[in-house]
Chains A and B, each alone.
Chain A
């Protein structure tokens, strides 16, 4: 620091002066770097020599800076508005691009990440489907373009080794998973090939975070067994802290797959994701060509088990960000529009200021300042303002980015990599420099009119060219604001449409939570069922509870658990053509508690809740129509799943529900008593309450803990919260768009107001004369408002065109609303027209109040 200060002072101060000051600084250097810097700046400020006409460049820049700083300090309102406007816009831009850069643009943090691909089976309609283990196995065995590959599926174990049991998210992965990614454990060893077999796969890998949090970073844990779901499993190793698991960001623990030769390792069970590292130098297209060929051969070998040919090989980064990419790019576009508006506004303010400074510059010119010198002064002012805006922007980013990240979907890849980074800082710097040039030169355009006339005319001069520029800027601002408002409007209407979708059940007054039954105590299915019975009984007895039920999953809860459903007396030609339907194995009272209607036949009764009772099922209306298109399904035989599953009798038809999202394709469902299916050790408890469901949560939790305190109770939420969470991404996009649109609207209003106010104050004399000659206040107001109306109309027309051209990029974010929705377009036009007219009235009213005598005397 001291060397920097010495360097700076020696270059800018007179040499003898520099000697004394530097000496004093060195003498006092124990006061610290900050003091030193402050003293240096102060010395530069006070002591540098006045610039001579052809003086040292550095000195004259410093002089320019001093002048610029003094000018900004002298008009605090202008400075404040400009800096805040720029700060917010630069901050928002940097924040959004701080998210876009690591998520969409930066390569994934694996060696040669461009060779990593996700491999899907291709459905007949061209969509992607997960892969069956047998298919995965054959593809890897026969491919020459794949270097390494791994399959992975979700796994949610309960860590039961300590007093506090805990459910964590994890993955079951092929032993090759980490090798394929090119990442090695930080501690211990990787999985081995012989462990990837049934019975031998009692081996897990821990994430660094889990290891630190739950096991206190204990290095001796490697090689030891920990209790998982009540079974001992050996810890093979711990992944490094820097390991970013882009494929499933929330996984904290990994277990070897061990699917070989298991019944669920079939070709029709599309339950796994496949990641492959393609050999160096081989393109993904070549690899896909080869895998397509292998799959065609497999289809000839197993004609009944494949419905569609082909695979899809996609770059991992593209595939994992597919869901969020359109929204992120749309936000990037929106925030750039906001930045554009903000810059226009600040330039417009500068122009307004320039008009008032015409005389000042005329004097400078008359005293011999060259044109280049004056432009440099203006550039310095722009640079200073832009720098202040940039600093304000950095404050805004640091304040808002954590809030933004907290609201992003937690399963979004690369979330941990988002922070204000040098890249984003680079963006800010670039923006600041660009702004400096734009803001510096824009006033210069209207500036160099005839200097002598400026001097003679005094303050009456009005910059006509200047006005035209400002008017153009305002029209642009209105147009951009219109585009943002239309976007926000479309997203808002989509959300309203979405929330008014009928979920197929009554989402109000429902409390939901996940109950677990793991460990030795629940070794057989009966013990699990009995635990559920006791929980239902205890919770049902609580005051305020209307009814209670247990189910294996929750609609809109994000689960996928589908089974092929068929009438065994009327099987389709190909297994793959079986309709797949969500499995709901439930207790009695489920349909009642959820208020899902039984359209035909009967619901489940306590008589069905018996392992030895005749096997029964209900089917949703859509499933019934699909399997038995022209007849009643009641009394028909059905089987869900493969031959190992029992044949059931259809006893009823239920209404359809939305399982995977209010905006997703509707799926079909089948319902069976939980006692007539293998017990699940993670179930959902659903409680219908008379009052506020959230208020009952503590009582419900206590009641369950009283029965078995060793089981974790997680995901307590009201059904309304679950529904809201299923739309959280849309809400976030809407909130951001609405914020941007609101800011844009404010800036556009300020722009129109500014232009008209400028007009009125410059034409005070003319207005006074007209008023003296008998113009009525109405006429004067009309004239100003008409001017505002013209600007707004141009802006709205331009914005309308822009909206129609641009909103199609929002298509994938919309629901039930076309991108050129006339209601939104007309609504926004009316809103903008009303608001801009209101903004015009204030300066217009001021014009009408001009006293002719004052106006004329003011010369």
Chain B
């Protein structure tokens, strides 16, 4: 079962797709979920997800725009997608029959 922050970050990584590193993930979450997370929170969550094997990362190329610093880009692994499915399924089961607006579409 995933935590709320983990779900949001996982989904954001999938939405960003290519080159999903701190800044675009942050912006995606802010745009979609209206939450202004700090980069520290995002990276912490990502490293926890990586430890669990739910995301994989690779180091990108340094750019001048970043003062010659590298990026670390994340992709959601198959295990990550599975655990999102598990989580949503569990949520739907819990909500089924209740009027919380979480009925299956």
Contact = CB atoms under 8 A, between A and B. Distances in A.
Contact of A27 (B23, B38, B44): B23
Contacts of A43: 38-40, 43
Interface in A1-44: 16-17, 19-28, 38-39, 42-44
A59 to B, nearest CB: 15
A792 to B, nearest CB: 52
B67 A20 contact: no
A43 B23 CA distance: 14
A42 B47 CA distance: 15
A47 B69 CA distance: 18
Contacts of B38: 38-39, 42-43, 46
A6 to B, nearest CB: 8
A45 interface: yes
Nearest to A35: B38
A46 B23 CA distance: 17
A46 B47 CA distance: 11
B67 A23 contact: yes
* A interface residue count range (under 10 / 10 to 19 / 20 to 34 / 35 or more): 20 to 34
A38 B41 CA distance: 12
A23 B61 CA distance: 11
A106 B85 CA distance: 73
B39 A25 contact: yes
Interface string B45-62: 001000000000001001
- Interface residues of A: mostly helix, strand, loop or mixed? helix
B70 interface: yes
Contacts of A17: 43, 47
A627 B72 CA distance: 102
Contacts of A20: 21-22, 43, 69-72
A39 B67 contact: no
Interface in A432-472: none
A39 B39 CA distance: 6
Given A38-B38, A43-B38, A23 B43 contact: no
Question: Max chain B CB contacts within 10 Å: which of A16, A28, A46?
Answer: A46
Given A27-B23, A42-B38, A22 B43 contact: no
B39 A23 contact: no
B70 A21 contact: no
Nearest to B23: A24
B32 interface: no
A32 to B, nearest CB: 14
A21 B40 contact: yes
B66 interface: yes
B1 to A, nearest CB: 22
Interface core residue of A16, A23, A42 (most chain B CB under 10 Å) = A23
B73 to A, nearest CB: 10
Interface string B19-31: 0011100000000
Contacts of B41: 42, 46
B21 A24 contact: yes
Contacts of A16: 59, 72
Contact of A22 (B21, B23, B47, B69): B69
Interface in A43-96: 43-47
Contacts of B23: 24, 27-28
Contacts of B71: 20, 23-24
A65 to B, nearest CB: 15
Nearest to A6: B67
With most chain A CB atoms within 10 A of its CB, the pick from B23, B38, B40, B47 is B40
Given A27-B23, A42-B38, A21 B66 contact: no
Interface in B60-105: 62, 65-67, 69-72
B39 A21 contact: yes
Contacts of B40: 21, 39, 42-47
A492 B53 CA distance: 75
A27 B39 CA distance: 12
B40 to A, nearest CB: 4
Interface in A270-314: none
A22 B69 CA distance: 7
Contacts of B22: 20-21, 24
Interface centre among A16, A19, A24, A47 (most CB of B within 10 A): A24
Contacts of A21: 22, 39-40, 43
Contacts of A45: 40
Contacts of A47: 40, 43-44, 47
A735 B18 CA distance: 69
Contact of B43 (A26, A27, A38, A46): A46
A19 B63 CA distance: 12
A26 B66 CA distance: 5
A22 B65 CA distance: 12
B69 A26 contact: yes
A851 B14 CA distance: 61
Contacts of A23: 62, 66-67, 69-71
A24 to B, nearest CB: 4
A24 B23 CA distance: 6
B39 A26 contact: no
A16 B23 CA distance: 17
A23 B69 CA distance: 5
Contacts of B66: 23-24, 26-27
Nearest to A43: B40
Nearest to B73: A20
Contacts of B21: 20, 24
Contact of A46 (B44, B59, B67, B69): B44
The winner among B22, B41, B47 for most chain A CB atoms within 10 A is B22
A19 B21 CA distance: 12
Contacts of A42: 38-41
Contacts of A46: 38, 40-41, 43-44
Contacts of B44: 46-47
A183 B65 CA distance: 55
A27 B69 CA distance: 10
Nearest to A29: B67
Contacts of A19: 69-70
A28 B62 CA distance: 15
Contacts of A25: 39
Contacts of B43: 17, 20-21, 43, 46-47
Nearest to A45: B40
B58 to A, nearest CB: 12
B70 A27 contact: no
Nearest to B25: A24
A25 B62 CA distance: 14
A680 to B, nearest CB: 72
A25 to B, nearest CB: 7
A92 B83 CA distance: 58
Nearest to A26: B67
Nearest to A27: B66
B37 to A, nearest CB: 9
B30 to A, nearest CB: 12
A230 B15 CA distance: 84
A839 to B, nearest CB: 46
A27 B72 contact: no
Nearest to A20: B72
30 contacts: A16-B59, A16-B72, A19-B69, A19-B70, A20-B22, A20-B72, A21-B22, A21-B39, A21-B43, A23-B67, A24-B21, A24-B22, A24-B71, A25-B39, A26-B65, A27-B23, A27-B65, A28-B23, A38-B38, A39-B38, A39-B39, A42-B38, A42-B39, A42-B40, A42-B41, A43-B43, A46-B40, A46-B41, A46-B43, A47-B47
Interface of A: 16-17, 19-28, 38-39, 42-47
Given A20-B22, A22-B69, A39-B39, 18 more contacts: A16-B72, A19-B70, A20-B21, A21-B40, A23-B62, A23-B71, A24-B71, A26-B65, A26-B69, A27-B23, A27-B66, A39-B38, A42-B41, A43-B38, A46-B40, A46-B41, A46-B44, A47-B44
5 closest residue pairs by CB, A with B = A23-B69, A43-B40, A42-B38, A42-B40, A23-B66
Interface of B: 21-23, 38-41, 43-44, 47, 59, 62, 65-67, 69-72
